[in-house]
Every structure is written in C-alpha cells, then in structure tokens.
C-alpha cells in the first residue's frame, strides 16, 4: 500500500488569519470563536506549536479580548491549547493518552448503540440518514487520484460525512447529549485521524466499514454490527507508532 509523505505541519507565531466565516451577531461571540478555532485545530490547519495571540485574534475577529479569552479557556479545557502568561496561547501537541481515552469512551458507547439499533425494530428514518451519509462519501471518493488520494478540501467534507453517519446513530436513540460528550472528548483522536486519513485507500476503507455497519443494522444482526463497528474504530490507534515516527513534533505520549 502506498502512503503519502508526512503532512507538512508547520507551527507559526504569525497572526491567525481572519475567520473563514463571519460571526453571527445574533449569537454570543465566544462560542463562535471557540467553534471556528477548534475546527481549525482539529483539521490541523492550526498545527501543534502555533502561537495564538489574544490581541491579534481579537483584531482578526473584530471583537474585544473578553470573548477571545473565554474561547481560549474552553479550548484549554479540552486540552487543545496551552495557555501561558502574557496573553499567549499555543496549540498543543496531540496527546496519545487523551486519544486512547477518547477511543475507549467512543467504542464502549457505539458498541452498545449499534447493538440496540440492530436488535430493535427497523428505523426507516435512520436508514435514510445513514444512506445519505454513505452516498455523500461515495461521491467524494470520485475526487480520488490514481493513487487513491484526495485534495485536502475533499478530505474535510469526507470527515463531515463521517461525523454525520455516527451522529445519526446517536440521534436515533435520543442520545444527542452523549454525542456532544464524545465530540468534546475527541479533539486529540480526531487530529490523529486527520493525520491518518490521507493514506492511499484509507478513505475507501472507511466507506466500506460504514457500509458494513449500516448493512448489519438493516438486516437486524447485532453481532455483525458490533464486529463491523469495532473494526471501523480500531484503525487509527493501531498506527500510533507510525504516527509518532512521522510526526514527532506533533504527537506526544
């Protein structure tokens, strides 16, 4: 299997560029700053070691420093940044210990979820949502090159479709609060997956695994659903040594 070279992850002390999306002035600013910065950290657009200066962020977002401070503190609670004195904050390295804990949490929850979904009555709404996410991922695979690789922007859309697939299963059992919990704990493992996904054939493999989960649920086979889900969630952590070797400045633990 051909793998791509390590991503060029370059930490920077330059000001963070203005946000890609304008702030919604009908909503509180701090949660929006948090959401945008978190998305850029998890996508590795803001690489580990990047310095986030509160005054520069305030200027970029057109805000006072108070909502910026609140957003950075929330990122700190998730372990995605380290906050130092003198108003400087640094994007943290990927913590493998935190990634392992998030994996255990998600695996335990989703094994139970797919067993319940496959063991219960047929749910046409769930099956339609899963099918929609799978269709989106299949369409995105059309952008692969001859080596089974996709542009970064397509990978981002593929990841969103992946999240939609899993979120639909939580929602089908009215477990939205647990989905929020999983997302809040998953910053480090999501960054690790972002490093792992741009590998030849990896995206296609994810799609096949999703299809296996959906098919097991549709045919009411709890054991097969659990097996497919376990296979799907086990890939990235099995490559920890390789990730540490390829990205020594980004991964710790």
The domains of the chain are located at 29-92, 95-252
The encoded tokens of residue 58 equal 């305030």
Looking at residue 153, its pLDDT comes to: 83
- CATH topology for 29-92 is Arc Repressor Mutant, subunit A (1.10.10)
Looking at residue 8, its pLDDT comes to: 46
What pTM value is reported for the model? 0.84
- pLDDT tens, 176-208? 999 999 999 999 999 988 887 777 778 889 999
Looking at residue 98, its pLDDT comes to: 93
Taking 70 as the pLDDT cut, the residues of the chain under it are 1-21, 87
- Strand 88-91 vs strand 81-83: parallel, antiparallel, or unpaired? antiparallel
- CATH topology for 95-252 is 1.20.120
* Longest CA span, the chain: 58
Please tell me the distance from the alpha carbon of residue 214 to that of residue 98, in angstroms, as a whole number.
28
Please tell me the distance from the alpha carbon of residue 61 to that of residue 29, in angstroms, as a whole number.
9
Looking at residue 185, its pLDDT comes to: 94
């Amino acid at each position: 299997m051909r793998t791509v070279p390590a991503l060029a992850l370059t930490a920077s002390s330059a000001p963070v560029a203005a946000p890609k999306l304008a702030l919604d002035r009908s909503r509180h600013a701090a949660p929006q700053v948090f959401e945008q910065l978190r998305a850029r950290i998890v996508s590795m657009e803001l690489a580990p070691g990047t310095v986030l200066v509160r005054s520069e962020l305030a200027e970029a977002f057109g805000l006072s420093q108070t909502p910026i401070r609140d957003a950075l503190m929330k990122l700190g609670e998730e372990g995605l940044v380290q906050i130092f004195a003198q108003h400087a904050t640094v994007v943290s390295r990927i913590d493998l210990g935190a990634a392992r804990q998030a994996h255990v949490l998600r695996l335990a929850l989703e094994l139970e979820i797919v067993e319940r979904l496959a063991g219960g009555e047929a749910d046409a709404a769930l099956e339609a949502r899963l099918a929609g996410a799978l269709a989106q991922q299949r369409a995105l695979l059309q952008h692969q090159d001859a080596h089974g690789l996709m542009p970064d922007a397509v990978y981002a859309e593929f990841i969103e479709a992946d999240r939609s697939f899993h979120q639909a299963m939580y929602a089908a059992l009215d477990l939205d609060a647990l989905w929020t919990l999983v997302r809040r704990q998953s910053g480090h493992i999501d960054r690790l997956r972002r490093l792992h996904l741009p590998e030849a054939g990896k995206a296609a493999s994810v799609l096949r695994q999703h299809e296996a989960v959906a098919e097991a649920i549709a045919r009411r086979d709890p054991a097969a659903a659990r097996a497919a889900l376990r296979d799907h969630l086990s890939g990235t952590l099995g490559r920890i040594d390789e990730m540490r070797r390829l990205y020594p400045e980004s991964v710790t633990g």
